[in-house]
């Protein structure tokens, strides 16, 4: 792809951000979705500038482990990404996923636009009304705040190690 085509392609992408427990497995789930151009794992939703993994694990920053998804809306819809989000974790668990416990593992949708907020709330209502879950959804739906990229060893962690999935 030449530079001008690359630049135009980048202009036609959108961002989405999700927290669904440990970001390693969640990132892998989104990377498998056709139309997802890039992913990055990091931290968002907290009250501390420039957090590190150690900071977030201290339970003092308020950040969630998140995946920032850049996608081509012509190839994949935000609703498709929401479907992946709901299916990649247990949204009924408060501040945990499986053995991972703490506010950094909370279920969260961080929206960038009013349209994303409306879609997220509608998808949550549909899932709740479906009867598929035995407990109420604990997912927070909140405006996106600053994204802090995690350390490089966390990026595409499972892929780098040839591991298919996390324990969840």
Q: Any idea which residues carry the catalytic annotation?
A: 22
Tell how far CA 143 is from the center of its chain.
13
- Taking only the tens place, the pLDDT of each residue in 8-32 is 445 799 999 999 988 878 898 999 9
State both tokens at 98: 């499986």
Instruction: Please state the pTM of the whole predicted model.
Output: 0.87
% residues pLDDT > 90 (the chain):
67
- Taking only the tens place, the pLDDT of each residue in 87-126 is 999 999 999 888 888 899 999 999 999 999 999 999 999 9
What's the pLDDT at 116? 98
- Quick one: which of 115, 13, 100 has its CA closest to 59? 100
* Angle of helix 78-87 versus helix 114-130 axis, rounded to 10: 40
User: What CA–CA distance (Å, rounded) separates 105 from 142?
Assistant: 15
User: What CA–CA distance (Å, rounded) separates 164 from 150?
Assistant: 21
- pLDDT band at residue 151 under the 50/70/90 scheme: confident
Mean of the per-residue pLDDT values for the chain?
Answer: 87
- pLDDT band at residue 165 under the 50/70/90 scheme: low
What's the pLDDT at 159? 65
State both tokens at 91: 């949204």
Check residues 101 and 161 and name the one with the higher pLDDT: 101
User: What CA–CA distance (Å, rounded) separates 168 from 82?
Assistant: 18
% residues pLDDT > 70 (the chain):
84
Q: 21, exposed or middle or buried, with CB in 10 Å at 0-12, 13-18, 19+?
A: buried
> How far is CA 147 from each of CA 61, 66, 74, 102, 152, rounded to the nearest angstrom?
13, 8, 24, 19, 15
- Quick one: which of 42, 37, 10, 51 has its CA closest to 24? 42
Class of domain 13-161: alpha beta
Three-state DSSP state, 60: coil
pLDDT, average across residues 140-160: 80
């Amino acid at each position: 792809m030449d530079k001008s085509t690359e630049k135009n392609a980048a202009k036609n992408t959108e961002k989405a951000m999700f927290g669904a427990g440990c970001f390693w497995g969640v990132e892998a789930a989104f990377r498998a979705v056709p139309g997802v151009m890039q992913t990055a794992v990091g931290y968002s939703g907290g009250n501390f500038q420039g957090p590190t993994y150690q900071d977030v694990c201290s339970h003092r920053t308020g950040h969630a482990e998140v995946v920032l998804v850049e996608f081509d809306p012509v190839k994949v819809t935000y609703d498709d990404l929401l479907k992946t989000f709901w299916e990649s974790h247990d949204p009924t668990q408060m501040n945990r996923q499986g053995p991972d416990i703490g506010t950094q593992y909370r279920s969260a949708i961080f929206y960038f636009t009013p349209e994303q907020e409306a879609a997220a709330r509608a998808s949550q209502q549909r899932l709740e009304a479906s009867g598929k879950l035995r407990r109420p959804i604990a997912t927070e739906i909140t405006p996106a705040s600053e994204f802090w990229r995690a350390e490089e060893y966390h990026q595409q962690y499972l892929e780098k190690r040839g591991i298919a999935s996390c324990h969840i």
